[in-house]
Structure 1
Amino acid sequence: MMTALTLVTALTLLGQGQGQETAPTAATGWTPLFNGRDLTGWYTFLQKHGKNSDPDRVITIEDGAIHLYKHATEASTVVMGYIGTEKEYGNYHLRFKYRWGEKKFEPRYKLKRDAGLYYHILGPDAIWPRSLQFQVEQTNVGDLIALFGFQVDSWVDPKTRAEVMPTFLPPEAGGEARVLGGAGIAYQKHLAGEHEVEGWNQAEIISKGDTVTHLLNGKVINKGKNVRLVDPEKNGEARPITKGRIALEIEAAEIFFRDVEIRSLDDTPAAGQGQDK
């Protein structure tokens, strides 16, 4: 029986990162990306409104958290978008907490509550941006999504290989190698099991070099390596991608985000170095 990697194991592989662009919190190495008061260091991008314009009051900051769609009426039609960092980031361990609100809206009123975190965003802002994504959708939190040219090597449960969205399974547990993405939007489901809890959940992304790892509530639930961008205008030429902007997704469901923090991994080895063949 396979035992999923714990957060402790993942960080053992990574080592302890030191150094950060801004002063770390206490002696932990963590630095807030969201200060709990305002969107300093971030910008907004919303459908119809563009950059840094929110006439619908989609985004509210209260009690140290970002509250999305506080003022929207249940089942009404809303705009979607994201809150993005002004800077690019690479070689980091990122963590944030989220919990669902009650309301849902069109155009996703009849669908599962949905949000997410984009990372390695490249190029101009768009709905949806060229990037990777940590999916935050009820029952699908931690899915790995590759958008518009991003490609990742990963491993899946061989029983699910033929499915549109295969399920992640690490190689040491019998996972078979596969390539995710390369065109359009491609999905890889998280490690089988129920990992989300009621109330606040903690999601994490470890990005070291061209390797990425997703964790939910301390458990590794998705992973990829050799992150690259395939350029169709250059005969499918691929170039490694190790950094980009980060964004909290806004997608027609009431949700709260808080404790968005990051720490540098510049002085640590790549995640899983020497583990994957």
Structure 2
Amino acid sequence: MSILLYIPANAQQLTNKWLPLLTKDLRYWDVFIGVPHTSLNLKDQPMGDGMNGTPLGLNNDPLHVFSVEMIDGQPVLHISGQVYGGLSTKTEFENYHFKAEFKWGEKKYEPRLKDKRDNGILYHATEPHGQFWNVWMRAHEFQVQEGDFGDYYSLVGVGMDIHARVKDSTAKHPDWVYDPAAPVVQFTSNRTPASTCRRIADYEKPHGEWNTLELYCFGTTSVHVVNGHVVMILENSRISPKTGDETTLKKGKIQIQSEAAEAYYRNISIQKLDKMPVFN
């Protein structure tokens, strides 16, 4: 007599060994595509300004915004950038070290033709889809934008505490910059004046070269690392609604953005953390 044990295809148990997340068929991921911009002239599809309108929705990607190319026998994620979208893990993760290599492509699209190339890694992302600009989940963002790798953005009512200082106090909308010697500042999208914080320094490689991006999450602390450099340490991860009590946020899905710029990821992997490493 044999007993068959069914394990869902998307079940992923973290260990101290690296777990590759990128496969040719994207079996560990869901795709959510937002609102196509009118400049794309799509037939029989809802369109808008990229943010307002009806999203294409879950696992409906007619333009193949997210696709996998096999290069030298290795899967490489190609993000066309044509439509805002999110590639989300089917599994929620906590206490982990996430690593990926990233580089820019060449193409840009509306509504960001004249802006910096933009992408991002959302973490501790919680459903439903479409909470931000009809596409992304509520999440913390590890910013991946030209010249701004490792910045922090709070999306839809999450919060972090960061040691930060004002870059220019005379500016109408001053930038906050991570500084481990500065006082702690609260960053939320709902309850505080500031919802973004800039990384300590720019460690992005020249256009077209591969960058190594690492994200450490343990308990309510996270660390953003760019090409081996710690660019920000964030603490007290929480859900911070406009009213009511705040609650801790220790886990969630990982969501890779499409944000109007062509981009590539490879060697996407994750491993379990038993404790947060000590960063000097």
Cα deviation 1:123-142 (Å, max 9, x = unaligned): 20012321001000000110
Name 2:56's counterpart in structure 1: 49
Name 1:116's counterpart in structure 2: 120
Counting only pairs closer than 5 Å after superposition, residues 33-48 of structure 1 correspond to structure 2 as: 33-35=21-23, 37-47=24-34, 48=55
- CA RMSD after TM alignment: 2.2
Single out whichever of 123-132 and 82-91 deviates more from structure 2: 123-132
Name 1:242's counterpart in structure 2: 250
1:60 aligns with 2:67: yes
Structure 2 residue matching 1:90: 3-state secondary structure: coil
Name 1:10's counterpart in structure 2: none
1:191 aligns with 2:183: no
Cα distance in 2, alignment partners of residues 205 and 115 from structure 1: 15
Name 1:30's counterpart in structure 2: 18
Contact map agreement 2:166 2:175 (CA 8 A) in 1: no
Cα distance in 1, alignment partners of residues 231 and 143 from structure 2: 11
> Matched residue pairs, number?
235
TM score, norm. by length of structure 2: 0.78
Name 1:11's counterpart in structure 2: none
- Shift in Å at residue 197 of structure 1? 0.5
Cα distance in 2, alignment partners of residues 159 and 115 from structure 1: 24
TM score, norm. by length of structure 1: 0.79
Gaps of 5+ in 2: 1-11, 35-54
Cα distance in 1, alignment partners of residues 129 and 277 from structure 2: 29
Question: Aligned match of 2:93 in 86, 89, 95?
Answer: 89
Cα distance in 2, alignment partners of residues 179 and 263 from structure 1: 29
Question: Aligned match of 1:221 in 227, 231, 253?
Answer: 231
1:139 aligns with 2:147: yes
Contact map agreement 1:160 1:167 (CA 8 A) in 2: no
Structure 2 residue matching 1:157: 3-state secondary structure: strand
Structure 1 residue matching 2:106: 3-state secondary structure: strand
Percent of pairs identical after alignment?
32
Q: Which has the higher contact order (CA 8 A, sep 6+)?
A: 1
Cα distance in 1, alignment partners of residues 126 and 32 from structure 2: 14
Name 1:21's counterpart in structure 2: 13
Name 1:8's counterpart in structure 2: none
Cα distance in 2, alignment partners of residues 226 and 186 from structure 1: 14
Gaps of 5+ in 1: 1-19, 73-77
